[in-house]
Amino acid sequence: MKIKIKGLKVNYKVDGLGSPVVIIHGWGEDSNTVNNLSQMFAQTNTVYTLDLPGFGLSEVPDKSWDIYDYEDLVTKFIKAMNLENVILVGHSMGGAIAICLAYSRLISIKGLFLVDAAGVRNKPNKQNIVNKLKVFLYKVVKFLIKILPLVAKKKEKLLNRMQRKTASADYLAVKGVMRNTFVKVLNNDLQYAMAKVVQPTVLIWGEHDTATPLDEAQIMNGLIRNSKLKIIRGAGHFPFIDKPEEVYEIITKELRRINRGE
């Protein structure tokens, strides 16, 4: 199905019957990626899963977006569907969007399931330092190319070579406005928002996640007051694909608890 929001055609699916659940996928994904999650929640709830703009069958924005643009789109989608007391489920970037939605309080949210969610950026670890050095090096080379006429003719080749060495696979996989969107979304640190989330929150995390490592889940768990951390042993960034039975068991139990108002 399609709906027009913020001037864009947005693709979405509806499944199941019961109180509303909205599932938000991650970067480079679409509604098909989180199909396992949708089927789990559809056993007891009406599940709405959308393709975020720039992904799946939804249109690409005409300018780069940040996490708050995506938050605004999901807010408008939920209001257009006339949904109240929703359960928000967010994977990776979708988890960051869900955190923003809980912080803004523009919609009625009953609870959150954050699955290997993004949103923790400013942490003093070795990988972050390495990433910042790569970005700095790229900017230095870009500046030198501008002021050194001898290398100006080879500008594109040199920049492309630097991008391949310093950029992530996700960045290189997209083009146009989505590249700038990736940078804007990636650089958002939402720890300030996590501290203001009041809804019951379940953190489901793959033990061996390298995209959003387990220490980020522990930071979230410490910041979100009413939260539980469930670690899926042996799973990576997609625990609902790696260990679907374990994830389903957690969802079933915790959904009952949230519905009872505990």
pLDDT digits (tens, 9 = 90+) for 135-147: 445 455 555 455 5
CA distance 177 to 194: 28
Predicted local confidence at residue 153, as pLDDT: 53
| Over residues 72-82, mean pLDDT | 98
Q: Please give the share of the chain, as a percent, with pLDDT higher than 90.
A: 76
Answering whether pTM is above 0.95, one says no
pLDDT digits (tens, 9 = 90+) for 186-196: 888 999 999 99
Identify whether the C-beta of residue 211 lies closer than 8 Å to the C-beta of residue 96: no
Encoding tokens for residue 201? 């929150």
Predicted local confidence at residue 60, as pLDDT: 97
In this structure, are strands 2-5 and 20-24 parallel, antiparallel, or unpaired? unpaired
> Which of 84-88, 126-130, 138-142 tops mean pLDDT?
84-88
Q: Which residues contact 74 (CB under 8 A, 6 or more apart)?
A: 22, 24, 50, 97, 101
Predicted local confidence at residue 124, as pLDDT: 60
Exposed e or buried b for every residue in 160-179, given b needs 16+ CB within 10 A? eebeeebbeebeeebeeebb
Encoding tokens for residue 246? 């374990």
Predicted local confidence at residue 174, as pLDDT: 65
Query: Rounded to the nearest 5 degrees, what angle is found at the Cα of 235, between the Cα atoms of 51 and 202?
Result: 65
**Average pLDDT over the chain, rounded to an integer:** 88
In this structure, are strands 46-50 and 86-91 parallel, antiparallel, or unpaired? unpaired
- Residue 93 pLDDT level (bands cut at 50, 70, 90): very high
CA distance 8 to 239: 31
